[in-house]
Amino acid sequence: MMAMIRFDNVSYRVGKATLVHNLNFQIAAGETVVLLGQSGSGKTTTLKLVNDLLMPTEGTVFVKDRSTRDWNPIRLRRLIGYVIQEVGLFPHFTVSENIGLVPRLEKWDAPKIRSRVEEVLQLVGLDPGKFSTRYPHQLSGGQRQRVGVARALCADPNILLLDEPFGALDPISRSEIQNEFQQLRMRLAKTMVFVTHDVAEAVLFGDRIGVMSEGKLVSLTSPKQFLESDDPMIQSFLKPLQNLVSITRAFRR
């Protein structure tokens, strides 16, 4: 399959600090790659290299077989959906205005924007009749996160970048939106790069899981290979899951 995203010998440095080092991998059209690692491992830096929020110090990032250096950065970012943990909704915009921001910048006509906003609200499980005219402060955390996903989807991008999008939610809301997002992911078949430090989330969403440490991509495997790996670093990620299973079994005895 065609590579939608490709990293060729990519490094990124700030001063003497190397934040990502010699990345070489590609992501196929419709594939979800989850970048898993502890804070400071280089996950978010890698993500930002895709939509030109950061430019490689060495090497080249290709999006749709075109170097990010050759893209107009504004044009590139409008073609890529971006979801972050803090959501970043404009407080003085309604839900409808927040979601329709990129289509307005792209000069879609008003009826088309209105129709698309209603469509993506329904996709993320929010009733347009109830939520279109609300403001962010009138929403729960889970609802704001759904609006953030809807905004990323509104212009129908081929690529979605998601940086710990559900990390700030309480456990019940997080579980609910994870399940809904998984159904949405399977249905839309977008190319996705998903950053998380949550192992269960990585296994749930990833077609492949990339483990990062100290700016390096140390493995890139299927969820099955990840779960069966005897690599000590991967085992350190799996240990909390194993402990949870042991505790659950103990309570059921």
CA dist 105 and 153 (Å) reads 15
pLDDT at residue 250, rounded to an integer: 45
Domains present along the chain, CATH in parentheses: 1-79+160-166+186-253 (3.40.50.300), 88-157 (no CATH)
What pLDDT, on the 0 to 100 scale, is given for residue 224? 93
Q: Is 52 exposed, middle or buried (0-12, 13-18, 19+ CB in 10 A)?
A: buried
Under 8 Å CB-to-CB from 105, ≥6 apart: which residues? 78
Closest CA to 43 of 226, 218, 186: 218
For the packed helices 141-153 and 171-188, what is the interaxial angle rounded to 10 degrees? 20
Q: Which residues of 195-233 are buried (b: 16+ CB within 10 A; e: fewer)?
A: bbbbbebbbbbbebbbbbbebbbebbbebeebeebeeee
Compute the distance between CA of residue 22 and CA of residue 171 in angstroms, rounded to an integer: 36
Question: pTM here?
Answer: 0.89
The DSSP H or E segment spanning 32 is: strand 32-36
Residue with tokens 């399940």: 179
Quote the pLDDT of residue 86.
Answer: 67
How far does CA 169 lie from the centroid of its chain?
15
Report pLDDT for 12. 97
Helices (H), ranges, the chain: 43-50, 73-78, 95-99, 101-105, 110-123, 128-131, 141-153, 171-188, 199-205, 223-228, 232-252
pLDDT at 225: 94
What is the helix (H) or strand (E) element at residue 22, kind and residue range?
A: strand 17-28
Mean pLDDT by 10 residues, the chain (253 residues): 90 94 96 93 96 96 95 93 82 95 93 95 92 94 89 93 82 79 86 92 93 95 92 84 51 52
What gap in Å lies between CA 20 and CA 45, rounded to an integer?
7
Question: For residues 61 and 59, what is the distance between their CA atoms, to the nearest angstrom?
Answer: 7
